[in-house]
Amino acid sequence: MDAPNDKFHPARILWLHRWSPRLLSFRLSREPGFRFVPGQFARLGLHQANGVPVWRAYSMASATWDDYLEFYSIIVPDGAFTSRLAQMQVGDELMMERQPFGFFTTNRFADGRDLWMLGTGTGLAPYLAILQDETTWTRFERLILVHGARNADDLAYRAEIASLRDHPLWAEHGHKLVYQPVATRDDSVSGALHARIPALLQSGELEARLGIPLTLADSRIMICGSPSMVHDTHKTLLGRGFRLSRLSAPAQIAVENAW
């Protein structure tokens, strides 16, 4: 592993958890000076067999105050990065850039009543960090997390999400969290919806199930997941009059591709 330099440093794997054969969470050691805003991502690197490093972006899934950094990854067969990651063990090292990146954060929104977090697959990760930020719980009246996957095994972190309601830092606001699973290929998931998120928005089924309307005045909508989901969801919302939010022109939508 390369020696530390000004741009990156070696990060040690502290913990690994397999959710399914293709989904993995892991925790890395954290430099004391590393700071990030919930929703941002880090660049992680591994050397290939030819010595050339390959880098991938991963959103932090841990809280800003944790002494480790947690990430959530899909394992791509024969992937230059993840096929090697899948073989690593606690104590192994990879490279991590010292600077966080990204603008997929709630501070790009003007105040609103409802924060919608729409995600598929590992697009859940930034929302886990956002939901471990006390400001999120005090700023919004409702926190609506919609996580889509193919089947029950891919709906990771369900117990951890449920436990967020009882966290001592915001337990008085715990009732604000609404969690809606979506399993497109598995009818066995209790309470789940079974169509793609863009289709659920087009049909109105998502809003009907939750009893919460999407409105220009009250809704702030984050979208993270596969490029096709992000594209189709964004397009659907644009058709309803919602607009992409920028720091210079706050509106209703923020988007991020999970890969």
Sequence-ordered list of residues with C-beta below 8 angstroms from that of 248, at least 6 positions apart, any chain:
none
**Arithmetic mean of pLDDT over the chain:** 95
pLDDT at 160: 98
- Range 190-208 average pLDDT: 97
Residue 49 pLDDT greater than 90, yes or no: no
Q: Mean pLDDT check: name the lowest of 164-173, 215-224, 227-236, 246-255.
A: 246-255
Give the CA diameter of the chain: 55
Distances (CA, A) of 222 to 27, 147, 251: 25, 12, 11
Whole-number Cα distances in Å, 257 to 37, 69, 120, 170: 17, 20, 10, 29
CB 26 within 8 A of CB 39: no
pLDDT in the model for residue 2 = 43
pLDDT the model gives residue 258: 60
pLDDT at residue 5, as a whole number = 62
In eight-state DSSP terms, residue 4 is P
Mean pLDDT for the stretch of residues 13-32: 97
Across the range 47-70, mean pLDDT stands at 95
Q: Tell me the C-alpha distance between 127 and 129, whole Å.
A: 5
CB 192 within 8 A of CB 186: yes
